[in-house]
Amino acid sequence: MSAPVPAPPAAPVISLRSAAFGYAGRPAATDLTLQIHQGEVVALLGPNGSGKSTLVRGLLGLNDHLGGQVELFDTPLASFTHRTRVGYVPQRHTLSGSIRSTVREVVSTGRLAHRRWWQPAGRGDRELVTRAVATVGLSDQAEADVATLSGGQQRRVLIARALAGRPEVLVMDEPTAGVDAASQDVLARVLRRLVDAGLTLVVVTHELAALRGIVDRIVEMDAGQVTFDGTPEDYADLQAGLTRSASAHAHHDDDPRDRPPLLGSGPFDPRSTASAGGNDA
């Protein structure tokens, strides 16, 4: 009996090859080569201005694709029309404080893209909204005014709104920023539920510690390019090496024996003092 033929690897849900994104025809992120597969949890790191937002907005179709290949679910970006397969969670709650909306009402807007504008929400829509609210742990706040919620709870409302659209990939912008440690722990548990459900997550963050044990891959950007792509363990080793190198360099600079000699020979130069000692009387 012949050995079974292994199944070919699944196509990545996001694929970039030498891609460039920018604004008004001017590139802000270039030479981006990256593949993300179903079920992966990828943390996107980098300082302000590193190109993270440009990359994310490019994947969402919100800025210019200026070169290279970009595919979503094995479909070229220019031909990709199933936008609801990619959900987005912004960093901040965007509704004005003057607009009174309940948690359920806000989450319900995540279903609008799935029906004609004149069609009312159906039973299936309502069930998905209820399920999304429960997933983020806000069932007991479903009828509460979102303006009365804490910052961490509002983040969970935004996650639920995205989940109501039943995305396969969820892009999240700084989900744990600006909330206290307890809220970060709750958000981390919510993200773990999403991971366990098989959702692919791309998380833009500056707070990697809050996502410990959830992220299985780190992509770091700087100056519009990818500078690291690997496991959290490899990233920790890299950072430890950089810290040791910086520490060794600092100690080296602090050693006066390693400093270059001053130009000239002044009155406090050791050799000048020694040569002038015979004339002291």
Instruction: Give the residue among 222, 190, 211 at the shortest CA–CA distance from 52.
Output: 222
pLDDT in tens, 46-85: 998 999 999 999 999 999 999 999 999 999 999 999 999 9
Looking at residue 33, its amino acid is T
Position 98 confidence tier, pLDDT thresholds 50, 70, 90 = low
Position 180 confidence tier, pLDDT thresholds 50, 70, 90 = confident
- pTM for this predicted structure: 0.82
Residue 8: its pLDDT value, please? 54
State what percent of residues in the chain have pLDDT above 70.
83
Instruction: Write down the H helix ranges in 141-205.
Output: 151-164, 181-196
pLDDT in tens, 197-247: 999 999 999 888 889 889 999 999 999 999 999 999 999 998 888 788 777
d(CA 47, CA 31) in angstroms, rounded, equals 18
**In this predicted structure, which of 33-37, 81-85, 89-93, 176-180 has the lowest mean pLDDT?**
89-93
Torsion sign across C-alpha atoms 218, 222, 228, 229 = positive
Residue 276: its pLDDT value, please? 42
pLDDT at 96 over 90: no
**In this predicted structure, which of 74-83, 116-125, 133-142, 166-175 has the lowest mean pLDDT?**
116-125
In this structure, are strands 217-222 and 169-173 parallel, antiparallel, or unpaired? unpaired
Q: Is 278 left (phi over 0), alpha (psi -120 to 50) or beta?
A: alpha
186 contacts 154 by C-beta, under 8 angstroms: no
Residue 94: its pLDDT value, please? 58
